[in-house]
Chain A
Amino acid sequence: MSQMVLGIGDLGASNHPDAEIKTYALGSCIAVVLLDPQTRTVGMVHIALPESKINLVKAKEKPGYFADTGLPLLLQEMARHGCQPKGKGLIIKLAGGAAIMDHNDTFNIGKRNLLAIKKILWSYGLGPRSEDVGGTFSRTVSVSVRTGEVILSSPGRPNWKI
């Protein structure tokens, strides 16, 4: 099995049946997982912040860091694997976006990430099939290309699927 590990702001896609895409310890970050049943391709991006306007240099260097630059690039990467360029037919799953207890608006970057991601998906006419977002715990996400199963883990909890 080959494992593609994504750090903050990384994105990737694969249609190799033995591949697994994984990203560790999402705090306020959100992993967007795209699955294409037609081409059996899986893609993921590890988004840290909602909008690229706060640092355009960083957005150019690592577009996956921001929702507004990362999602379009992930769709392009999926298209490179034969998927529909506008994302038609994709199954979308979201995980992450946690917050500290008693947070205020300033510290709820997870929620702002989620809203930005949904807004962009909406602009493509897309929406998540399932999501495991918010709460006060970090998440590690892995997805197998062969099974398409999205597995979540968090210290102190048994693993679960979305």
Chain B
Amino acid sequence: MTTSNLHAEIARAIQAAPLLSPIANQLLQVTARADHEMKEVIDLVKCDSLLTARLLRVVNSSAMGLVHQISSVDHAVSYLGERLVVGIAIAECTNEFLGKPLDGYEGESGQLWRHELFTAIASRAVARHARAPLPADLAFTAGLLHDIGKAILSEFLRGTSRELVADIVRGDTADYLTGEQERVGLDHAEVGFELARHWKLPEALAQVIRHHHHPETAEAELRPLIYAVHLGDILAMMGGQGTGSDSMKYHLRQEYAEHFTMSKDDLALLLLECSEEFRKVEASLASLKET
């Protein structure tokens, strides 16, 4: 297939991707605003009985370990925090899309969602080490969506992983992102950006998705947020939650140090804390799948 045909096919796949639910979209719009209040999140949740039921199920799941049951939306939202409320709303409507196997990366079913979740947790944790204050919950949401492009691109990369990995090992290809471009003319960051446009995601989230492997190419104002996700993504791969053949085959952008201060011990602690939180959140979200 020629590159222009491939682009047209990929564009069609983006258009055919399932949309986010209206409630997930509204929550993303509200929480991306710097001046939003928790009450706005609670009011949105109250309007959606399905999401309310999901939140109550998660907050009362055994993995959360609460002694007393929570039965009000206000309590559930304040206990879970807005990041998990947004996370649950996204999980609910992207279950199939982000849960399918990533054949193009030899990734198993559920691997992309787990990678997104670990990255979300790690991006938020990294945000705490920023030199200037960063909206940590927005870093979580951005981490949760940063690799959505892989769900589309995977189909077009089917059967390429062995050769692509060998090219990187030989030094013929700089990294996995370059390998994707060489094979299909686009990479998962660019495809994810187009999907973000299709989903009408807030601009900051779309820019994180587009630049998460090259934060230095983003607008200066957004760079700290994008570096947080860049590092969160790397921590997920270090913690064994990659998406398959591409794991660890990206570059660390050393310029992160302009925005974050982290010692070796800080990073070790981050990895430990994120692994623990990931285990807990993954277990509590698993209650969504129980009948």
Contacts and interface: CB of A to CB of B under 8 A. Distances in A.
Nearest to A55: B272
A100 B234 contact: yes
A104 B242 contact: no
A48 B164 CA distance: 28
B242 A25 contact: yes
Interface in A88-129: 98-107, 109-110, 112
Contacts of A154: 245
Interface residues of A, number: 35
A98 B5 CA distance: 37
Interface of B: 105-107, 161-162, 164-165, 168, 175, 234, 237-242, 244-245, 247-254, 262-265, 267-269, 271-272, 275-276
Given A102-B251, A103-B252, A25 B234 contact: no
A101 B250 contact: yes
A106 B242 contact: no
Quick one: which of A54, A98, A154, A156 has the most chain B CB within 10 A? A156
Interface of A: 8, 24-29, 48-50, 54-55, 58, 65, 98-107, 109-110, 112, 135-138, 154-157
User: Taking chain A's interface residues, is the majority helix, strand, or loop, or is none over half, making it mixed?
Assistant: loop
A28 B242 CA distance: 12
A157 B162 contact: yes
B94 to A, nearest CB: 22
Nearest to B160: A156
A97 to B, nearest CB: 10
A155 B161 contact: yes
Nearest to B253: A102
